[in-house]
Amino acid sequence: MSESSFEASLKKSNDVWADIDVNPNKYRMLTGDRPTGHLHIGHYFGSLKNRVELQNKGVNTMILIADYQVITDRDNTEHIEDYVYNMLADYMACGVDPKKTPIFCHSAVAALNQLMLPFLSLVSEAELLRNPTVKTEQAASGHELTGLLLTYPVHQACDILFCKANIVPVGKDQLPHIEQTRQIARRFNKRYKKVFREPVGLLSDAIEVPGLDGRKMSKSYGNAISLAMTEDETAKLIRKSQTDSDRNITYDPENRPGVSALLTTASLCSGKSQEDIAAEIGDGGSGQLKAYVTESVNNFLKDIRVKRETYLSDKAQLKSILNEGNKFANHIAEKTLEEVKSAMKMNY
C-alpha cells in the first residue's frame, strides 16, 4: 500500500474515532478472527480490548469466527471445533457480551456466502493477484495459491458488506482488503443500485505486541502467551525466552529485543511503563525480570482464565450462544441478499 493511500486511510480512521464518542449509534462494527489456534495476549492487547471498548461505548458490534478462511492456506480442519469453542470462551472471558455483540461463523450463514458470486464478478484477476497481503500470506504459509486464498479478500468483503458494517477495526496488513471492499461496494452500487456503504478501516494506536523473542507475537513462532495457558506453562515459556547477559535491565528494543519484549509484556499487563519497571529491577538481571513478567502476566490473566474455564465447561451454553449469533447474522444476511437480488432484477 502506497504511503499516500495509507495517510488517507489513517485520516478516515481518525475522523471516525473522533465521532464515535459523540454518535456511537451511527456505527456498526464487524471484525473477525480465523479459528486457527488459541488466542494469545497479542490478540488481547492488539484487538480484543479495543472491540470490548467499542461494544461498551454503544457501537453496534458483531464478531465473526471466520471458519471458511481457515482453509485458504491449510489442508485440514482437524481441530476447528475445539478452536471455535475456545475462541468463543476467550471472547467472553475478555468482556465480549454476546447479548450486545452477536458472535457467528461463516459456515452457518449461507446468504453471506452467496454474496461471493456477484462480488467476484466485480473484481479483476489483476486486482486479485496484486493484493500484497495475500502474497505475504502465501509466502509465509508455503502453500500453493489456492483459488480461495486468491479470492478470500472478496469473501472478506462479503463478511463486511452483508451486515453493512461501516467500521472494521484492523491492523495495517488488512487495509488492502478494506480498499477492495470499498471498491466492491462502489462498483455494485454503480452497476445495479445503491445497496452498500463504504466501510472504514479503524486503525488503533495499540502497539503491536512483541512475542517473547521480540518478533511479532505468533503461535507459529512459539513466542506467544495464550490466554489458555496455565500459570506454570506461562512461567516455563517466559523462563525459556532469550535475554542477554547484561544484568542491568534497560528498555532498548533496538539492541536488547528479548529484554525489551519482556518489559513491554509486563508493562501492558501491569499498566506501568517499561522504563519504570526496568528501574525497579535495576541490576537484578534476567532472572528477576522474568519473575516480574511472569507475575504480572499471571495476575493480569487470572480472572480471564477462571472465566474462560467456566465458559468452556458448559458446551451446551456455548453452542446456544453461537446459535443465537448465527440466527441474528442469518436474519441480516438474508435481508441483504434480497436487496442484492432485487437490485440485480433477480427477484423472481
Q: Which residue among 9, 13, 31, 114 contacts ligand TRP (CB under 6 A)?
A: 31
The stretch near ligand TRP (CB under 6 A) out of 25-33, 87-95, 108-116, 238-246 is: 25-33
* Residue type for position 242: Q
What CA–CA distance (Å, rounded) separates 247 from 283?
A: 5
First-to-last CA distance in the chain? Answer: 42
The stretch near ligand TRP (CB under 6 A) out of 30-38, 89-97, 205-213, 262-270 is: 30-38
- CA angle at residue 198 from 100 to 158, to 5 degrees? 65
Q: Which is nearer to ligand TRP, 95 or 171 (CB)?
A: 171
Nearest Cα residue to 34 out of 80, 76, 3, 2: 80
Q: Which is nearer to ligand TRP, 37 or 210 (CB)?
A: 37
Least separation in angstroms between residue 179's CB and ligand TRP is: 13
User: Quick check: 167 and 202 in contact, CB under 8 A?
Assistant: yes
Binding letters toward ligand TRP, positions 203-242, x by CB under 6 A: ----------------------------------------
What CA–CA distance (Å, rounded) separates 111 from 329?
A: 9
Q: Which residue among 9, 20, 27, 34 contacts ligand TRP (CB under 6 A)?
A: 34
The stretch near ligand TRP (CB under 6 A) out of 27-35, 109-117, 119-127, 244-252 is: 27-35
Burial 114-131 (b: 16+ CB within 10 A, else e): bbbebbeebbeeeebeeb
Q: Is 69 in the site for ligand TRP (CB under 6 A)?
A: yes
- Contacts for 65 with CB less than 8 Å, ≥ 6 apart: 32, 33, 35, 84, 87, 88, 103, 104, 105, 106
What CA–CA distance (Å, rounded) separates 184 from 180?
A: 6
Q: Which residue among 16, 20, 29, 30 contacts ligand TRP (CB under 6 A)?
A: 30
Return the SS3 of 50. Answer: helix
What CA–CA distance (Å, rounded) separates 131 from 295?
A: 42
The stretch near ligand TRP (CB under 6 A) out of 64-72, 245-253, 262-270, 288-296 is: 64-72
Q: Which is nearer to ligand TRP, 66 or 261 (CB)?
A: 66
Q: Which residue among 12, 33, 131, 184 contacts ligand TRP (CB under 6 A)?
A: 33
Least separation in angstroms between residue 165's CB and ligand TRP is: 8
Q: Which residue has the cell 464487524?
A: 30
Q: Which is nearer to ligand TRP, 197 or 272 (CB)?
A: 197
Nearest Cα residue to 308 out of 43, 62, 85: 85
Task: Give how many residues touch ligand TRP by CB under 6 A.
Answer: 14
Q: Is the dihedral of CA 84, 89, 90, 92 positive or negative?
A: positive
Residue nearest to ligand TRP (CB): 66
Q: Is the dihedral of CA 9, 15, 17, 20 positive or negative?
A: negative
Least separation in angstroms between residue 157's CB and ligand TRP is: 9
Q: Which is nearer to ligand TRP, 9 or 69 (CB)?
A: 69
The stretch near ligand TRP (CB under 6 A) out of 31-39, 86-94, 122-130, 334-342 is: 31-39
Binding letters toward ligand TRP, positions 152-171, x by CB under 6 A: ----x--xx-------x-x-
| Positions in the binding site for ligand TRP (CB under 6 A) | 30-34, 64, 66, 69, 156, 159-160, 168, 170, 174
